[in-house]
């Protein structure tokens, strides 16, 4: 295995950013959005001008592209899972962190090379040096595009005021097959911003009471209890949508409650909006419009 002094600048950067990213995941319970991981890496590491530079062909920042590139190794090694913009550190990945930064990435890269050799053997292809990098580059391109897409949607939603975001939340529920006869007007709402039913009259369960908070600060336990206190009838279900996330106490309270409260932070909201977008009416789509772009799927 290589020592740190023997590494090329690109490999040394890969070691630094990949190991930092995986440790950030570990420190934050094992899962975060890819966007948040990248932001935390940038805060943790002081990059030089070359590392912060952009590739001329793609325009991507060098250290970010290298991080995306080598997370593919981590995925093939079973250290990391990515799903709809969320990165998950696996138990195998947490264990591998004990190897140290260089050895961690060496083990991940060897796992990728093994996977690539087996893939080519299965396809009965002749081994060509460097061919695997083309496959990885395609996967990295998709990864980076997904990151930029989520970042763009997030910025768009954050520019909306509280009532505009509330309308988008109601539109999402309609796209999921619910009727929304009540959307709170400006002013006091009594703790319920949206009522959602499975039928137009609300005669069948579940009857959903939705609280929407659109701000940077997380929803707290008092706000969680306020919504839970409104779920008094059989068939009542709560949904708490908070673009600023939730405090640990609020999450714990919701999980331990005898009434059901579904928690939706901004990352999950975006995931749901993408998933149900095609089922929205044209009017509702216009509240947060998306354009589908199709890539060749990585092998």
Q: What is the pLDDT of residue 261?
A: 95
Euclidean distance between CA atoms 273 and 152, whole angstroms: 13
Query: What are 222-271's pLDDT values in tens digits?
Result: 999 999 999 988 888 999 999 999 999 999 999 998 899 999 999 999 99
Backbone angles phi, psi at 75, to 5 degrees: -65, -45
Strand order in the sheet with 80-83: 31-33, 86-89, 80-83
Euclidean distance between CA atoms 138 and 165, whole angstroms: 35
pTM: 0.68
Query: What are 136-154's pLDDT values in tens digits?
Result: 777 777 777 887 888 899 9
Query: What are 110-137's pLDDT values in tens digits?
Result: 999 898 888 766 554 444 444 456 667 7
The answer to whether residues 66 and 45 touch, using CB atoms and an 8 Å cutoff, is no
Pick the more confident residue, 225 or 187: 225
Residue 91 has pLDDT above 70, yes or no: yes
Pick from 218, 155, 18: nearest CA to 100:
18
């Amino acid at each position: 295995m290589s020592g740190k002094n023997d590494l090329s600048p690109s490999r040394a950067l890969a070691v630094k950013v990949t190991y930092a990213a995986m440790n950030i995941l570990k420190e934050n319970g094992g899962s975060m959005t890819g966007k948040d991981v990248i932001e935390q890496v940038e805060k943790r590491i002081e990059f030089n001008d070359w590392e912060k530079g952009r590739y001329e062909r793609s325009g991507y920042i060098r250290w970010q592209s290298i991080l995306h590139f080598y997370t593919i190794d981590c995925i093939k090694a079973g250290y990391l899972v990515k799903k709809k913009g969320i990165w998950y550190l696996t138990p195998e990945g947490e264990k591998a962190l004990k190897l140290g930064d260089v050895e961690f990435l060496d083990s991940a890269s060897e796992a990728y090379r093994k996977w690539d050799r087996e893939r080519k053997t299965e396809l009965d292809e002749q081994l060509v040096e460097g061919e695997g990098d083309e496959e990885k580059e395609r996967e990295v391109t998709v990864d980076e595009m997904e990151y930029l897409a989520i970042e763009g949607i997030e910025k768009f939603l954050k520019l909306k005021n509280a009532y505009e975001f509330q309308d988008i939340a109601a539109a999402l529920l309609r796209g999921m097959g619910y009727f929304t006869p009540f959307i709170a007007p400006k002013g006091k709402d009594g703790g319920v911003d949206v009522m959602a039913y499975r039928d137009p009259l609300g005669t069948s369960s579940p009857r959903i009471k939705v609280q929407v908070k659109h701000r940077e600060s997380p929803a707290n336990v008092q706000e969680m209890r306020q919504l839970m206190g409104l779920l008094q009838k059989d068939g009542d279900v709560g949904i708490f949508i908070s673009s600023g996330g939730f405090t640990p106490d609020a999450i714990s309270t919701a999980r331990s409650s005898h009434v059901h409260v579904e928690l939706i932070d901004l990352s999950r909201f975006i995931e749901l909006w993408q998933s149900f977008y095609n089922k929205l009416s044209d009017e509702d789509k216009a509240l947060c419009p998306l354009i589908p772009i199709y890539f060749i799927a990585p092998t």
